[in-house]
């Protein structure tokens, strides 16, 4: 007796269909599985056997062979439990073979026959829809996630008994027994996260830092905040997602795919509708930040895709961890190489960092700072030049004076700042129509001159800045991109010297990196 069931797996965030083949024949009772399997998949035979037995189904003592095709691609995770069980039941003729035609199955089995939540449902259902499949049967907890893909019916099941009943009934009665799960993307995007409690109106003073945050959000530029403790660096950073342009549906699906593969997607949140904000502790390892491990998973920078990665206390991170971000910051992708496979994860994020200027935090105020020059130099050298070169804006914060704290004058709210950001975003959207770019911060070095056109006066200004600030070619281009965003916020088509000089003011403060 032989049967074939369609399932799916993923590598990185890219899914592929898996053909689950089962052959049951007389002979010595064994259960063999082949097809380039991980440890979790090999263990599925124990889960499947116990789940079917405890669901009251009789599995005769026969020779069972399971093949997962294509055999040259590694299969990982527990989502293949359910299709293996369905293939065995079909081979034993518990239901007609036609019942599983053009249907994809995913799910983990518990020993009592319940079907449990799995990772990676969204990309797998998306691939099934591309391949022309009509139905997907997934765990009930994953049904809303899969329903985000249009053009395919996604049905959620709780246990083996419910699934068997679904497969045994006539096709006309299936829709009543297990109706296709539906979600309203319009409703989901209509209740975007408002970032309650994180409003820029709560930030007193620090106008230069708020201005830099506004520019960074408008052009998707990397930002570094430098200043002593208690000046509001973290406070400002945590409010940046609230003024960024809302996620589009396409961006939301990208972000949700990463969260689905990583297993961080919540049942009540079928789609990620708010810009991600990730803030790892400075003890994080390189693999946890960029992704990888013996079984590769997305890292924190991939979970921050299309959002903000906030690194507080920047020099406290290990230098090799920080330097591992060089390539993702330029190419917006992370490649993880292993002996048996290469996987890649998206990593298009805005980097926001905060740091003190010395170990005690008060340099160059010698009334409070007692750090030696060597201690300051050693502390600052933990942040390498190549990483600084990839920072578009650097702003210095000072202690807030008492008058700013006691002032009753209203501050610009996040809603108002977001309106300005969205206006600048619309200008960029029109500028980059038909290209791969979305924001000014995305422009590659070879095309900066095309989008950041300078007049003779402005060219002369940049020549003087290049010489006086000892800029690298990358820093030169970053000044032009920031100036382009400043001009967009001002509603001006042409970059002038005022925009260039303001952009140049946001280069890293040289007195700190001595």
Report the pLDDT value the prediction gives residue 336, as an integer from 0 to 100. Answer: 83
Burial code (b: 16+ CB inside 10 Å, e: under 16) for 473-510 equals eebebbbbbbbbbbbbbeeeeebbeebbebbbebbbee
Residues 150 and 230 in one domain: no
Residues 97 and 245 in one domain: no
Q: Give me the mean pLDDT over the 291-296 stretch.
A: 77
User: Does residue 66 have a pLDDT over 60?
Assistant: yes
Q: How far apart are CA 68 and CA 22, in angstroms?
A: 9
Burial code (b: 16+ CB inside 10 Å, e: under 16) for 196-216 equals eebbbeebbbbeebbbbbbbb
Residues 52 and 127 in one domain: yes
Question: What are 501's two structure tokens?
Answer: 């000089």
Q: Give me the mean pLDDT over the 316-331 stretch.
A: 92
Which of 193 and 382 is assigned the larger pLDDT? 382
Residues 249/252/253/256 CA torsion (nearest 10 deg):
-160
Residues 160 and 299 in one domain: no
Residue at which a domain ends, from 384, 413, 433:
433
pLDDT band at 302 (very low <50, low <70, confident <90, very high): very high
pLDDT band at 197 (very low <50, low <70, confident <90, very high): low
Q: How far apart are CA 382 and CA 322, in angstroms?
A: 9
Element (H, E) at 158: none
Report the pLDDT value the prediction gives residue 224, as an integer from 0 to 100. Answer: 95
Winning range, highest mean pLDDT, from 68-77, 259-268, 281-290: 281-290
The CA–CA distances, whole Å, from 485 to 340, 391, 454, 459 equal: 44, 15, 14, 18
User: Does residue 512 have a pLDDT over 60?
Assistant: no
Q: How far apart are CA 126 and CA 112, in angstroms?
A: 30
Report the pLDDT value the prediction gives residue 184, as an integer from 0 to 100. Answer: 75
Q: Give me the mean pLDDT over the 478-500 stretch.
A: 95
Within 10 angstroms of residue 423's Cβ, the number of other Cβ atoms is 13
Q: How far apart are CA 486 and CA 212, in angstroms?
A: 10
Q: Give me the mean pLDDT over the 133-150 stretch.
A: 93
Question: What are 64's two structure tokens?
Answer: 């069972």
For residue 97, is it within any domain? yes
User: Does residue 191 have a pLDDT over 70?
Assistant: no
User: Does residue 11 have a pLDDT over 80?
Assistant: yes
Residues 233 and 297 in one domain: yes
DSSP sequence for 76-95: -SSTTHHHHHHHHHHHTTSS
- How many residues in total does the chain contain? 514
For residue 512, is it within any domain? no
Lowest-pLDDT range of 2-11, 266-275, 476-485: 266-275
Residues 65 and 148 in one domain: yes
For residue 466, is it within any domain? no
pLDDT band at 61 (very low <50, low <70, confident <90, very high): confident
User: Does residue 403 have a pLDDT over 80?
Assistant: no
How confident is the model over 418-455, as pLDDT tens digits?
999 999 999 999 999 999 898 999 998 889 989 999 99
Lowest-pLDDT range of 56-60, 170-174, 192-196, 496-500: 192-196
Residues 125 and 229 in one domain: no
For residue 485, is it within any domain? no
Element (H, E) at 3: strand 2-11
For residue 68, is it within any domain? yes
What's the domain range around 374?
A: 200-433
Residue at which a domain ends, from 414, 433, 452:
433
User: Does residue 508 have a pLDDT over 80?
Assistant: no
The CA–CA distances, whole Å, from 66 to 3, 33, 48, 325 equal: 10, 5, 12, 42
For residue 280, is it within any domain? yes
Which of 331 and 268 is assigned the larger pLDDT? 331
For residue 147, what is the DSSP state?
T
Question: What are 59's two structure tokens?
Answer: 């599995």
Residues 299 and 384 in one domain: yes
Say if CB 111 and CB 50 are below 8 A apart: yes
Residue at which a domain ends, from 371, 400, 433:
433
Report the pLDDT value the prediction gives residue 64, as an integer from 0 to 100. Answer: 92
Phi, psi of 17 (to 5 degrees): -80, 145
Report the pLDDT value the prediction gives residue 363, as an integer from 0 to 100. Answer: 87
For residue 256, is it within any domain? yes
User: Does residue 310 have a pLDDT over 80?
Assistant: yes
pLDDT band at 513 (very low <50, low <70, confident <90, very high): low
Residues 128 and 51 in one domain: yes
Give residue for tokens 């108002």.
416
pLDDT band at 208 (very low <50, low <70, confident <90, very high): very high
Q: How far apart are CA 257 and CA 260, in angstroms?
A: 5
Residues 233 and 164 in one domain: no
User: Does residue 510 have a pLDDT over 70?
Assistant: no
How confident is the model over 68-81, as pLDDT tens digits?
999 888 888 899 99
Percent of the chain with pLDDT over 70: 94
Percent of the chain with pLDDT over 90: 60
> What average pLDDT is seen over the chain?
89
How confident is the model over 348-393, as pLDDT tens digits?
999 999 999 899 988 888 888 989 988 988 898 888 888 888 899 9
User: Does residue 211 have a pLDDT over 70?
Assistant: yes
For residue 63, is it within any domain? yes
CATH number, domain with residue 264: 3.40.50.300
How confident is the model over 265-274, as pLDDT tens digits?
887 788 888 8
Residues 10 and 60 in one domain: yes
Lowest-pLDDT range of 299-303, 345-349, 504-508: 504-508
Number of separate domains in the chain: 2
pLDDT band at 196 (very low <50, low <70, confident <90, very high): low
Question: What are 344's two structure tokens?
Answer: 């890649």
User: Does residue 408 have a pLDDT over 70?
Assistant: no
Residues 32 and 95 in one domain: yes
Report the pLDDT value the prediction gives residue 388, as an integer from 0 to 100. Answer: 87
Report the pLDDT value the prediction gives residue 128, as an integer from 0 to 100. Answer: 96
CATH number, domain with residue 110: 3.30.230.10
Sign, CA torsion 263/267/268/273: positive
Report the pLDDT value the prediction gives residue 335, as an integer from 0 to 100. Answer: 87
């Amino acid at each position: 007796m032989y049967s074939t069931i369609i399932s799916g797996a993923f590598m990185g965030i890219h899914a592929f269909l898996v053909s689950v083949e089962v052959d049951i024949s007389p002979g010595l009772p064994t259960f063999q599985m082949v097809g380039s399997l991980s440890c979790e998949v090999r263990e599925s035979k124990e889960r499947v056997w116990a789940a079917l037995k405890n669901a009251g189904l009789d599995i005769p003592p026969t020779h069972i062979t399971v093949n997962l095709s294509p055999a040259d691609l590694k299969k990982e995770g527990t989502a293949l439990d359910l299709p293996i069980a369905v293939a065995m039941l079909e081979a034993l003729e518990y239901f007609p073979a036609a019942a599983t035609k053009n249907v994809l199955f995913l799910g983990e089995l518990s020993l009592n026959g319940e079907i449990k939540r799995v990772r990676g449902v969204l990309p797998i259902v998306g691939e099934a829809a591309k391949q022309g499949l009509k139905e997907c049967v997934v765990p009930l907890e994953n049904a809303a996630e899969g329903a985000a893909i249009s053009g395919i019916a996604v049905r959620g099941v709780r246990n083996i008994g419910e699934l068997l009943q679904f497969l045994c009934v006539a096709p006309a009665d299936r829709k009543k027994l297990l109706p296709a799960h539906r979600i309203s993307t319009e409703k989901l995007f209509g209740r975007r996260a408002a970032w309650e409690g994180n409003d820029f109106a709560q930030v007193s003073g620090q106008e230069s830092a708020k201005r830099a945050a506004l520019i960074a959000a408008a052009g998707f530029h990397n930002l570094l905040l430098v200043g002593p403790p208690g000046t509001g660096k973290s406070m400002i950073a945590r409010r940046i997602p609230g003024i960024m342009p809302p996620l589009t549906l396409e961006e939301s699906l990208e972000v949700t795919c990463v969260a689905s593969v990583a297993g961080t997607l919540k049942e009540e949140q079928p789609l990620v509708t708010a810009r991600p904000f990730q803030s790892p502790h400075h003890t994080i390892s390189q693999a946890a930040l960029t992704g990888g491990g013996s079984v590769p998973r997305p890292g924190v920078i991939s979970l921050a895709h299309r959002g903000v990665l906030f690194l507080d206390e920047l020099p406290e991170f290990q230098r090799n961890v920080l330097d591992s971000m060089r390539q993702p910051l330029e190419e917006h992708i992370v490649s993880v190489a292993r002996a048996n496979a290469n996987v890649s994860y998206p990593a298009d994020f805005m980097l926001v960092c905060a740091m003190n200027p010395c170990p005690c935090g008060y340099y160059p105020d010698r009334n409070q700072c007692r750090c030696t020059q060597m201690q300051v130099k050693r502390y600052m050298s933990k942040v390498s030049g190549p990483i600084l070169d990839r920072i578009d804006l650097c702003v210095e914060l000072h202690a807030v004076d008492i008058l700013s704290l006691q002032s009753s004058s209203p501050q610009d709210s996040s809603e108002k700042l977001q309106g300005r950001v969205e206006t600048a975003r619309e200008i960029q959207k029109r500028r980059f129509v038909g290209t791969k770019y979305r924001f000014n911060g995305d422009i590659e070095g070879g095309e900066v001159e095309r989008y950041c056109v300078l007049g003779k006066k402005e060219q002369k200004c940049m020549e003087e800045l290049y010489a006086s600030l000892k800029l690298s070619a990358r820093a030169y281009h970053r000044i032009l991109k920031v100036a382009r965003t400043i001009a967009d916020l001002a509603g001006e088509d042409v970059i002038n010297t005022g925009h260039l000089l303001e952009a140049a003011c946001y280069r890293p403060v040289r007195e700190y990196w001595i």
